[in-house]
Amino acid sequence: MLSFVLKRTPLKMCWVPGYSDYYPEAPGGRPEPAPPAATTPPLPAAPIGETYTARTFPAVPYDPIGSTTPRDKGGTYEMEVRFSPVGSGVESLRLANYFQTARRVVPETIQDFRHPRVNADAAHPIASDDPRAGLDAFAAYRVFLNGQEVRLWKTPDPATTFWKQGDKPGRFEAAVVNESGVEIAKITRVFDLAPGTFDLTIRQTVENLRPDAALGVRWEQFGPVSPPVGTMRYGGDTRRVRFGYLLPASRDPERRVFADDRAASLILHSTAIGNKDGDKPGRAPPSWEPSKLWPSADSTKGDLTLAWAGLTNRYFTIAMYPLLPPGTKERSFAMASEVSRVAIPTAEPDADKTHADIALYLTSPTYTVAPGRTLDLSIGVYAGPTSSEVIAAHAPAAAAMGVAEVVMYTLGGPCSFCTFQFLTSPLHALLKGIHDYLTRDWALAIMLLVVCVRTLLHPITRWTQRKMFFFSKEMAKIAPKMKAIQERYKDEPAKLRQEQTRMMGEHGGVYASGALGCLPAFLQTPVWIALSAMLSFAFELRHSGAFFGVFQSISPGWTFLADMSAPDHLWAFGTSFHIPLLSMLLGPIDGLNALPLVLGVVFFIQQKYLTPPSATPLTPEQEQQQKMMRVMTVFMFPLMMYNAPAGLALYFATNSSLAIIESKLIRARAEEEWKTIEAVKAARLASGTPAVGAPWWDRKKIEGSRQKEGEGFLAKLRRTIEEAQKARDAAQKHKGKGKR
């Protein structure tokens, strides 16, 4: 599944199909943009002298479909869809059972009309006086009939529209006529929404009314528009363009829908949205034309077939897919031969810069429609939570098209692979199982997940800490010898290095034990990273109160742990502010958060009482470095976690608290083992018997004492040579001192 970041990039001017009538010309003039490149054979030519236009109708308010009444108040629909007279598109799509905040007051709007606007103080301020100009999701833009363009989007007169509402809400019709006023084609769009589902169907057809000639038809329309960005914290703008695809039948005969997280590294930088030279002094403002996203070079190279396309933000997905007969095995999105992106400049009223909103733009192949026949261009739309469970239960059509593959616990970008996707899904399944079958509360489930993960990793943790404990003890025994060597050869660097090497060789097991003791800590790192990504993007934590909402039962307006996907907000400020540099990572500061402070206290306890003393004397520089590391651990990590989701902060606080208890128990057990081993080693060394499990250097000492009692000829010869070498070394040393 290919993914792209909707980057909030400073813009100056852009183009959307049909905007040439509403925007001033750029310096030097701007030609009318060409339509997206066709990937199909040329259309049949229209009869000589015949021209086509769409009939206009009075623009009247359209009736919505669905409802925003939630289930707990008797509602049966999952969403409400309102329509626009411009291209009969979706003006707004609001969810009935999901809200903008945990207080459950304002329904979540995941599709909304996007109007182009730029701040008045921008370098090239532009704004349209026409309130219709903008992006409506799934609006029809134009149709080509026998090579002639017929606009279906926006009429020159605001009081008219190309679309007439039918006898039922969500049903629209357009008529294409020739210069004589005779209808040659009828276009129908029917939006249908069943209660209890997130599947919105758009059944659209083009009927050839000519009795004697075929029509060549190519259809172009908008897809979903940018979903809300929400509060940007870690990772910035998490919105993506997403694609599901099918492998070639030779590689996958079952024709399953796949999602590849490698494509999440493809980011829409400013150079991909428009011409970066437009920001340079003396250059004309850049203009934006549809930028083709599918097929891409990668999809063409891999012979991939499009299954669905959509946009996502952190928690919601709007995806479009083909409507196919039941039982159809081939699930290709044949109607969308090209999927492009169009951008418009938008700026919030309090923003300092201009940003971009986008819409996907579909171009169909060229179809030949026989006289009196109808071309079916229907599509389905999933608009709801990015949750495999919700898609499976409340969107059967989307589930059949593999839209559930959109679920991905990653920030994307160049380091999307760093989140270890092969671990995030099992961890999410474990968390959900704990919640569904044990706790029924997400905060308790997270805490129990900590227990499960630490239990699974306990053998590695115990082995690690035990090795490190023995390593520090052995180093303490060796430290006097190393110090004596340093004192003895402080004026002979070469000899000092030689003796230190010899000492390390004699006690090689000590250093190997220390090195191996650190290895499991690195092996655990993927688990922590995958957990962080999973907890940051798990939809189930959104607006979920901790501990059965106990804090809200104390005070209904208290925001503390009311939303496990947001900072814990012990005290919500009611406003927000930015800290220079820091807010670039954390986002705006809008409350006093307690869990990061608890995390700092836990780290302080861990550093003060559980950090083992150094086995060797430290230099002043080393002591200063260790002090700085302790300060960074106690203060910097909680600071970096200040705006983290409450679920993630709760996980780390619980994990660190249990780590203290676990470490204390492991060290106590290791201390007893050390004393026992030392006692056994001392007793067996005195009796000349190697201790069971004793290190090889201790066994060497015992075997050496045995050899001196009854050593053979070769052993005596080796010892004689070693003693002679030592005598020569001593003589050279004495001679060197005499010269000085």
With H, G, I as helix, E, B as strand and everything else as coil, classify residue 309. Answer: strand
Confidence band of 45 (pLDDT split at 50, 70, 90): low
Report whether 187 contacts 273 (CB < 8 A): no
Could you tell me which of 421, 422, 420, 443 has the C-alpha nearest to residue 431? 443
Could you tell me which residue, 131 or 562, shows the higher pLDDT? 562
pLDDT tens for each residue of 625-682 = 777 877 777 888 888 889 999 999 999 999 989 988 998 898 888 888 888 877 877 7
CA distance 666 to 671: 9
With H, G, I as helix, E, B as strand and everything else as coil, classify residue 148. Answer: strand
Report whether 406 contacts 245 (CB < 8 A): no
HEC profile of 61-114: CCCCEECCCCHHHCCCCCEEEEECCCCCCEEEEEEEEEECCCCCCCEEEEEECE
pLDDT tens for each residue of 316-336 = 999 999 998 777 777 899 999
Instruction: Report the pLDDT value the prediction gives residue 511, as an integer from 0 to 100.
Output: 54
What number of other Cβ atoms are within 10 A of residue 314's Cβ?
23
CA distance 215 to 366: 10
CA distance 52 to 550: 66
Instruction: Report the pLDDT value the prediction gives residue 397, as an integer from 0 to 100.
Output: 93
Could you tell me which residue, 674 or 452, shows the higher pLDDT? 452
Can you spell out the DSSP letters for 165-195? E-SSTTEEEEEEEETTS-EEEEEEEEEEE-T
Report whether 318 contacts 310 (CB < 8 A): yes
Report whether 533 contacts 408 (CB < 8 A): no
Amino acid at 517: G
Rounded mean pLDDT, 348-357: 55
Supply 413's token pair.
């970008």
Longest dimension (CA), the chain: 123
Amino acid at 724: A
Phi, psi of 660 (to 5 degrees): -65, -45
Instruction: Report the pLDDT value the prediction gives residue 106, as an integer from 0 to 100.
Output: 94
Rounded mean pLDDT, 356-385: 94
Instruction: Report the pLDDT value the prediction gives residue 75, as an integer from 0 to 100.
Output: 96
pLDDT tens for each residue of 21-42 = 333 333 333 333 333 334 444 4
pLDDT tens for each residue of 666-714 = 888 888 888 887 787 777 667 665 544 444 444 444 444 444 444 555 5
CA distance 155 to 445: 55
pLDDT higher than threshold 80 for residue 622? no
Amino acid at 486: Q
Could you tell me which of 651, 481, 477, 634 has the C-alpha nearest to residue 564? 651
Spell out the long-range contacts of 187-192 with Cβ–Cβ below 8 A and sequence spacing 24 or more: 187/140, 187/143, 187/152, 189/88, 189/140, 189/163, 190/166, 191/65, 191/81, 191/83, 191/90, 192/65
Instruction: Report the pLDDT value the prediction gives residue 604, as an integer from 0 to 100.
Output: 86
Instruction: Report the pLDDT value the prediction gives residue 94, as an integer from 0 to 100.
Output: 98
Give the least confident one: 246-260, 343-357, 417-431, 477-491.
343-357
Q: What is the CA radius of gyration of the chain?
A: 35
Region of 73 please: left (phi>0), alpha (psi -120 to 50) or beta. alpha
Cis peptide before 295 (omega within 30 of 0): yes
pLDDT higher than threshold 70 for residue 591? yes
CA distance 343 to 275: 12
* Cα torsion through 55, 58, 61, 63, rounded to 10: -50
CA distance 447 to 435: 11
